[in-house]
């Protein structure tokens, strides 16, 4: 059977005006669909005094209500569903940290559109049907496993559905099946890299050539480290459960520090997180996404809490779809310590500039003494160890200084031995806030 070509210049390299036309046509249909089929949307539209026919151009999206996790919790589990439940063929969920998970359903057509979108995204990252793709995300309620699995399968790749965990088994599979692409979080890839090195796995001559990483930020320091030690190209892709999962945006091979958004499926806005006001192109703010062709769970103006900025400048790859800067922080990631705002990404950036520590770290907050205290635990590289207490203490003070310059708060620094920071198979947990408990 003839394989579909997953670079589609008609859509991906369309003039900006054409993209806007496609988006407007889909937006109007999607808004009417949500309004007519979902009581929650109908009620909100009526409260705001708007109707679907008020959407005449793309900017009119601003008339629509925002949605967020809270709405999904209020309507849990199926209140936002716009089709009969017997037409829903799959559920996914994201656990979040508190309360009920966020649940999303998909119709058959939604799943087809989603896997097409993912296939196009992985093709953009350089994956071809000749690739053998090893999955290290779990196949559970998390969208990462099934979402990327079906996208790669649609592209025609040989899928190796290994799933999460059991790193040694993963290494064996890479060796035996000559896997060429690894799908995981960047932090798990780093763990796999280290485990392989400790077992004498030769990354340089291994078959792996591309990492399709997502689900959490991939900081430049971590990316460099993985690329040089595993001898692969790390590519990043972004998405969230509420708007399908992976497939929202991904890297092409030219624009390595930005991700192309699949604009025929998603309408983006950047807002000021404090006021909700829409910001002009290029400004950093909170990403808001409207799914343009979802049957089961229409999602209008979903507030992602992810901070980024977007450009529609042409890309050297020839694609005209807008590019978003890498998401490095979320509005709800921000830690306020003694009145100063701190993002975990600042800690990671500062640590990645220090030779002698690994990219693994943990931030612990407490207020045992009545005052907020930040402790940064960071792992020493084996060659940074010294028998001399003085030398180790000098190095620790150097780390404190660098962190103080970056954070404007003086942290306690604990240097731990290599492997001393817990590894996770999925998204890494880097912050432990014990302030209410202490």
Token pair recorded at residue 428: 């890494």
Q: Would you tell me which residues interact with ligand DLL (CB under 6 A)?
A: 94, 142-144, 214-217, 236-241, 245-246, 304, 306, 327, 330
> Cβ 146 to ligand DLL, closest distance in Å?
10
> Cβ 159 to ligand DLL, closest distance in Å?
15
Nearest of 298, 332, 306 to residue 67 by alpha carbon: 298
Instruction: Using the minimum distance from each CB to ligand DLL, give the nearer residue, 67 or 143.
Output: 143
- Other beta carbons within 10 Å of 275: 9
Instruction: Using the minimum distance from each CB to ligand DLL, give the nearer residue, 45 or 213.
Output: 213
Q: Which residue is nearest to ligand DLL (CB)?
A: 214
Instruction: Using the minimum distance from each CB to ligand DLL, give the nearer residue, 94 or 346.
Output: 94
Instruction: Using the minimum distance from each CB to ligand DLL, give the nearer residue, 27 or 72.
Output: 72
> Cβ 176 to ligand DLL, closest distance in Å?
25
> Cβ 437 to ligand DLL, closest distance in Å?
25
Instruction: Using the minimum distance from each CB to ligand DLL, give the nearer residue, 63 or 329.
Output: 329
> Cβ 328 to ligand DLL, closest distance in Å?
7
Instruction: Using the minimum distance from each CB to ligand DLL, give the nearer residue, 291 or 327.
Output: 327
> Cβ 44 to ligand DLL, closest distance in Å?
23
């Amino acid at each position: 059977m003839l394989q579909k070509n997953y670079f589609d210049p008609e859509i991906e390299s369309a003039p900006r005006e054409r993209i806007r036309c496609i988006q407007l046509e889909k937006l109007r249909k999607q808004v009417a669909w949500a309004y007519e089929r979902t009581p929650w949307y109908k009620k909100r539209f009526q409260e705001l005094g708007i109707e679907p026919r008020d959407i005449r151009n793309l900017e009119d999206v601003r008339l629509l209500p925002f949605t967020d996790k809270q709405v999904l919790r209020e309507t849990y589990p199926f209140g936002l569903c716009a089709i009969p439940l017997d037409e829903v063929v799959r559920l996914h969920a994201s656990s979040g940290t508190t309360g009920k998970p966020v649940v999303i359903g998909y119709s058959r057509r939604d799943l087809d559109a989603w896997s097409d979108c993912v296939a196009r995204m992985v093709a953009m990252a350089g994956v071809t049907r000749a690739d053998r793709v090893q999955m290290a995300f779990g196949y559970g309620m998390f969208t990462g496993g099934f979402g990327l699995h079906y996208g790669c399968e649609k592209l025609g790749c040989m899928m190796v559905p290994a799933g999460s965990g059991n790193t040694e088994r993963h290494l064996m599979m890479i060796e035996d099946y000559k896997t060429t692409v690894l799908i995981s979080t960047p932090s798990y890839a780093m763990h796999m890299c280290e485990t392989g090195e400790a077992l004498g796995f030769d990354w340089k001559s291994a078959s792996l050539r591309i990492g399709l990483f997502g689900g959490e930020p991939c900081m430049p320091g971590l990316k460099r480290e993985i690329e040089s030690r595993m001898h692969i190209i790390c590519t990043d892709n972004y998405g969230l459960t509420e708007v399908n999962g992976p497939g929202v945006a991904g890297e092409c091979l030219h624009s390595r520090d930005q991700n192309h958004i699949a604009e025929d499926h998603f309408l983006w806005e950047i807002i000021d997180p404090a006021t909700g006001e829409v910001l002009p192109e290029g400004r950093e703010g909170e990403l808001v996404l409207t799914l343009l062709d979802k049957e089961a769970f229409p999602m209008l103006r979903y507030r992602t809490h992810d901070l980024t900025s977007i450009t529609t400048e042409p890309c050297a790859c020839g694609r005209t779809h807008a590019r978003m800067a890498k998401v490095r922080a979320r509005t709800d990631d921000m830690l306020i310590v003694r009145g100063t705002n701190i993002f975990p990404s600042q800690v990671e950036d500062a640590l990645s500039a220090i030779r002698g520590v690994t990219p693994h770290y943990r931030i612990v907050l407490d207020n045992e003494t009545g005052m907020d205290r930040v402790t940064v635990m960071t792992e020493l590289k084996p060659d940074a160890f010294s028998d001399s207490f003085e030398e180790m203490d000098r190095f620790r003070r150097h780390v404190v200084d660098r962190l103080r310059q970056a954070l404007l708060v003086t942290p306690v620094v604990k240097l731990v031995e290599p492997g001393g920071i817990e590894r996770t198979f999925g998204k890494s947990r880097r912050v432990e806030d014990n302030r209410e408990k202490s």
